[in-house]
Amino acid sequence: MNKYTDIFIDFDDTLYNTRGNAQISLGELFAHYGLERYFPTPENFYTPYWETNLDLWEKYAHGKISRDYLIVERFRRPLATGRDANGTPMPVTEELCLQMSDYFLDLCANKPGVIDGAHELVRYLTEKGYRLHLCSNGFHEVQYRKLEACGMRHAFHNIILSEDAGANKPSPLYFQYAFQACGAKPETTIMIGDNPETDIMGALAAGMDAIFFNPKRKETPVSASVTHEVHTLKEIMDIL
């Protein structure tokens, strides 16, 4: 008999196609702000944006930077690399970065794209009687809108965001808050996520089993200790 009653599920890039939706939104932002005046191709803006975004989110997850710093800096750094036809740097202000962030997040929040098999997995787990709890480090005002956009808002018993928990995954404080809020126990809960550190190592350290969703088959330190590793969401149906 399956010992699990509760499932913690990461949202971004586990169920919701955050990278794909954000890439579309970046293209819309590039056109809206006329960034072709400072970047010869969109890729010249996208590449430093994604490098910066990855670095900042990793620092944010470990409490090294604030939410406000992340919001400004993830645009300030890539924009600062822009040059016009005369080689003059793009004028970048905090006000512009905040304006771009609001516009970008609004675009992202309305995109419905999900990871292949996400709706099928959520429906399957619900029909099996599991209590599903969404666990995310994402921003409060954006995550709820993305959940509505992709039609998953009502699939979860609880939505546990780091801003409510007062700590980010992989902090033990985040998982302690999640267990309390959901009325769940580590021994009967399993975590599903794509991030080997915030989702998987955080869950294992909290005494839970974990399913590492690894579609790109990356070699990571968690592969040896994780309870299960899958490369498609469909594979999870054979486990739970």
The residue ranges of every structural domain in the chain are 6-17+113-238, 19-109
DSSP classification of residue 235: G
The 3-state DSSP class for residue 146 equals helix
Mean pLDDT for 59-63 is: 93
Task: Please give the CATH number for the structural domain made up of 6-17+113-238.
Answer: 3.40.50.1000
Burial 32-65 (b: 16+ CB within 10 A, else e): ebebeebbeebebbbebbbebbeebbeebbeeeb
Fold of 19-109: DNA polymerase; domain 1 (1.10.150)
Is the pLDDT at 114 greater than 60? The verdict is yes
Alpha-carbon distance 115 to 17, whole Å? 5
Q: Read off the pLDDT of residues 157-208 as tens digits, 9 standing for 90 and up.
A: 999 999 999 999 999 999 999 999 999 999 999 999 999 999 999 999 999 9
Mean pLDDT for 37-51 is: 97
User: What are the structure tokens assigned to 131, written together?
Assistant: 């209590």
Question: Comparing 197 with 220, which gets the higher pLDDT?
Answer: 197
Alpha-carbon distance 147 to 153, whole Å? 5
User: Per DSSP, what are the bridge partners of residue 136?
Assistant: 161
Beta-carbon contacts of 71 under 8 Å, excluding residues fewer than 6 positions away, are 97, 98, 101
Is the pLDDT at 1 greater than 70? The verdict is no
* pLDDT for res 36: 97
* pLDDT for res 141: 87
Burial 178-211 (b: 16+ CB within 10 A, else e): bbeebebebeebbbbbbbbbbbbbbbbebebbbb
Is the pLDDT at 116 greater than 60? The verdict is yes
* pLDDT for res 222: 78
According to DSSP, the β-strands at 158-161 and 189-193 are unpaired
Distances, alpha carbon 202 to alpha carbons 137, 171, 184, 188, in Å: 12, 7, 16, 16
Q: Read off the pLDDT of residues 132-161 as tens digits, 9 standing for 90 and up.
A: 999 999 999 899 999 999 999 999 999 999
Mean pLDDT estimate for the chain: 95
Beta-carbon contacts of 127 under 8 Å, excluding residues fewer than 6 positions away, are none
